[in-house]
Structure 1
Amino acid sequence: MPRDHPKVFVSYTHDSPEHLESVREFATFLRSGQGIDVVLDQWVSDRRQDWQAWATKNILESDFVIVVASEGYRRMGDGYGPNDRNPGGQAEAATLRDLLLGDRQDWTRKLLPVVLPGHGVEEIPQFLQPRAADHYVIGSITPEGTDELLRHLTGQPRHLLPPLGEQPVLPPRSGPASKRT
């Protein structure tokens, strides 16, 4: 059953305090300004959490998972990051890789690589196919700057497929049924 507000889990790595703030600003924009039910770890209460269980539950219950591209996420997502950094990001990326492997069609639709201002497409992990599959470059954290992503999340295409018209009946140009002699 479709929801009135799509539920979106945000997966990212804690690369720096500035990156955390940028991700929180983007998530707040989607949630407060655009009606997207965003799940973000920064908004969880201060009580003790089993973060792996929390992330897995929310990933599986969400309509989409936004993967915020960054140098740290690319390293962790592709298995090159140091094991002692970003353990949450490593665990989430491993879960997402496994889900993608288990049902490529469904999870390709649900996993949305997002490039925030100040970042580049080269920061999308290879397992998310930065060149062979869609990704969303955010020009600015505004409705205009997020238009393509918002259209995908809300199922509102930019252009509608026109109706299929009737095929014309074309007389032959030669032969017995043609009008030429």
Structure 2
Amino acid sequence: MAPRVFISWAHTADDWSDDRTRAWEHAIADFAYLLCDHGVHVDVDLFHYTEQGIDWTRYGPQAIAAADIVLMASNVPYWERWEGRNRPTQGAGVAREADTLKGLFNADQTAFQRKALIVVLPGESDECIPHELRRVPCYPVRSLTFDGIEALLRLFHGRPAYPAGQVRSAPDLPPAPRNAGESALRADRVDVEARLAALDMTGGQESGMPQVRRRLLLQQRLARLTDRIAEHERGDGRATTQP
């Protein structure tokens, strides 16, 4: 079933030109139609402008109640209305919608968190979002294209880009053989013996260390390895440690 989404948006600001107001209205309309084209049931006041008998004092709160998700379109005038900083003669519709969402928060914080989302359309910013709403998920829409709304569509339709992996049966992981420690010690002893033999053949320096001191260190290590192997052969070997 297609999710029901309501777009809450502020129409204009005191310092906006008519051209900017129209451009913002067109962006909201394009965004709404783009969601509709991709399987989302969208409601926005633009769709009701010519509807006879529409009651604008009740429209916003009722649309919020009916929606699964409310998208708050972020810009400065929207958050002015949210915080009550707008002129009291302007923006009553968004102010009512903000009050409805705040009422939902007061009644059920979990329900508010499930319903409320913030979208940042092209040309707008998330910097003006009130700190009290930083808990609300915010989705940047960088372009009014499929790519621009893909993250929203995945959320609305429950189609994550990276679904959780399916847990399968554990692999066969047998315990290590009891003589694994002895095998490692024997391999180390073979390595040390080979390095001693190579040192005897060079008759000079190895890695910048005098030959006599290098041979002495290798011989000491060989003796420790030999002792450890003997412990394992007697059956009293402990967990392998670095010799």
Unaligned residue ranges in structure 1 (runs of 5+):
none
2:41 counterpart letter in structure 1: D
CA shift for structure 1 position 57:
1.6
Cα distance in 2 between the residues matched to 1:47 and 1:23:
22
TM-score (norm 1): 0.84
Q: Distance in 2 between matches of 1:17 and 1:74?
A: 19
Instruction: State the match for 1:94 in structure 2.
Output: 99
- What pairs with 1:166-181 in structure 2 (closer than 5 Å)? 166=170, 181=237
**Aligned with residue 153 of structure 2, among 150, 164, 167:** 150
Read off the aligned partner of 2:5 and give its amino acid letter: V
Change beyond 3 A, Cα 1:120–1:170: farther
Read off the aligned partner of 1:139 and give its amino acid letter.
Answer: R
Q: Quick one: which amino acid aligns to residue 96 of structure 1?
A: L
State the identity as a percent: 27
- Decide whether the 8 Å contact of 1:78 with 1:127 is kept in 2: no
Distance change >3 Å, CA 91–CA 160, structure 1 → 2: same
Task: Give the direction of change, closer, same or farther, for the CA distance of 1:171–1:142 in structure 2 (3 Å limit).
Answer: same
C-alpha displacement at 1:169, in angstroms?
A: 5.7
Deviation at 1:123, TM superposition (A): 3.2
Question: Deviation per CA, 1:38-90, whole angstroms, max 9, x where unpaired?
Answer: 10111113424322322222211111111100110111112222211111011
**Aligned residue identity for 2:8:** S
User: Greater relative contact order (Cα 8 A, min sep 6): structure 1 or 2?
Assistant: 1
The letter for the 2-side match of 1:118 is G
Which amino acid counterpart does residue 93 of structure 2 have in structure 1?
Answer: G
Q: Pick the structure with more helix per residue.
A: 2
SS of the aligned residue for 1:92 comes to helix
Q: Highest Rg: 1 or 2?
A: 2
Listed as ranges, the gaps of 5+ residues in structure 2 are 13-20, 182-236, 238-243
Aligned residues: 171
Q: Structure 1 residue 159 and structure 2 residue 162: aligned?
A: yes
Cα RMSD of the aligned pairs, angstroms, is: 2.2
Distance in 2 between residues matched to 1:98 and 1:169, nearest whole Å: 56
Are the structure 2 counterparts of residues 95 and 167 from structure 1 closer, same or farther at C-alpha, using a change threshold of 3 Å?
farther
Give TM-score, length-normalised by structure 2: 0.64
Instruction: Provide closer, same or farther for how the CA distance between residues 28 and 167 of structure 1 changes in structure 2, counting only shifts above 3 A.
Output: same
Matches within 5 A, 1:39-58: 39-44=43-48, 45-58=50-63
